[in-house]
Amino acid sequence: MALPVRCTVKSVFRFIHKSNSHRRLFKAGKATETTSLLKGQVFSGIQPTGVPHLGNYLGALESWVALQNEYSAVMYSIVDLHSITQPQDPHMLRDNILDMAASLLACGIDPTRSILFQQSQVSEHAELSWILGCLTSMPRLRHLPQWKMKSKQKNEGSVGLYTYPVLQAADILLYKSTHVPVGEDQIQHLELAQDLARIFNNQYGEFFPEPCALLSGTRKVKSLRDPSSKMSKSDPQKLATVFLTDTPDDIVLKIRRAVTDFTSEVTYEPESRPGVSNLVSMHAAVSEQSMEEVVRLAEGMDTGQYKNVVAEAIVQKLQPIRLEIQRLRADRGHLESLLAKGAEKARSLAAPVMTEVRKLVGFC
């Protein structure tokens, strides 16, 4: 597959194409407004686990928004089938689906430029997952890192948890996706999708493209209370995570209580000063500046003063998003209608693919 020469995406992406024995690496920078949209099908999904936090936004959602201006075909799915690999309260799950839809819209996902839909409303995902599962070996799944981690935490795991990487592959291949924005921790799961595309094509004839990974250049946001760990929704420490719906007072309190060290100077040294470096990283990301620029701006400040600057920058970035989430949450009917329309568009793309898959497999 030819790689694009120029991109309009704000944050830097690395385009990784894996083809049997080699990979190609490409870094994309900013381009002019006249750059034409790149060809290809972009697909990604997010679980409905409530309102996203700052790490979700800077690590994925901000890039998702930018990709709408970059590619001619973009799809984002709220992957509720994946979410039930863990126990869910049905009423809370439904609320979380709508909250996630509101959050994505508030962040800038535009249904006129991309397809936003709920995974379970398109039954072809489950059907293709079964077919691909029949092409997947148990040892292949057993060695995926997330199965090892999650099954160890519970001492055992469900069949759904074991096979959900196959469903992830089906999500991607169902739309013949060519590009998938993923985090570093999902690369091996995307490689499974690439492998399954090859296995299917070898057995039934050339049909699925091998999807490429789009890795955002944004640094991971760390916990405010433990900068050795990622920021997480499930963190038991309430002051560790900044949510998109936090009020300005909430954000100021959390940043002020962020773990730093006994050195007053502001520097970016992730290994020796992870707490302060986490603040610098967040500040650079929300203000769209380099690490060097924000460190230079902080000259003469101690970390206490700098925390106020960081908090203000985060408030300015998230306040419009918070208010828009509130507005959208108030109209559940609108959110449900939007997801239904998105599902209809997704089905119109999935149905002909599955028709061909059924023929190739021999079902008809």
| Whether residue 233 lies in the annotated active site | yes
Cβ 333 vs Cβ 302: under 8 Å: no
Phi first, then psi, for residue 85 (nearest 5°) are -70, -15
| Whether residue 230 lies in the annotated active site | yes
Q: Are strands 212-216 and 13-19 parallel, antiparallel or unpaired?
A: antiparallel
Give the tens place of pLDDT for each residue, 268-296: 999 999 999 999 999 999 999 999 999 99
Cβ 217 vs Cβ 79: under 8 Å: no
One DSSP character per residue, 225-262 reads: S-TTSB--TT-S-GGG--BTT--HHHHHHHHHT----S
Query: Using CA atoms, how far apart are residues 122 and 234, in angstroms rounded to an integer?
Result: 29
Cβ 51 vs Cβ 106: under 8 Å: no
Give the tens place of pLDDT for each residue, 148-197: 666 666 556 789 988 999 999 999 999 999 999 988 878 888 999 999 99
Residue with the bigger pLDDT between 3 and 336: it is 336
Element (H, E) at 329: helix 303-329
Q: Token pair 């998938």 is at which residue?
A: 180
Segment 338-342 long-range contacts (CB within 8 Å, at least 24 positions apart): 338/101, 338/105, 338/111, 338/116, 339/78, 339/97, 339/101, 339/116, 339/117, 339/118, 339/121, 340/121, 341/111, 342/111, 342/115, 342/116, 342/117, 342/118
Whether pTM > 0.85 for this model: the answer is: yes
Mean pLDDT in residue range 55-73: 95
In three-state secondary structure terms, 40 is strand
Q: Which domains does the chain have, with CATH numbers?
A: 39-219+332-361 (3.40.50.620), 248-330 (1.10.240.10)
| Whether residue 152 lies in the annotated active site | no
Percent of the chain scoring above 70 in pLDDT: 87
Spot the catalytic one: 39, 233, 238, 359.
Answer: 233
Spot the catalytic one: 10, 150, 341, 345.
Answer: 150
Q: What is the pLDDT of residue 183?
A: 81
Spot the catalytic one: 18, 220, 230, 341.
Answer: 230
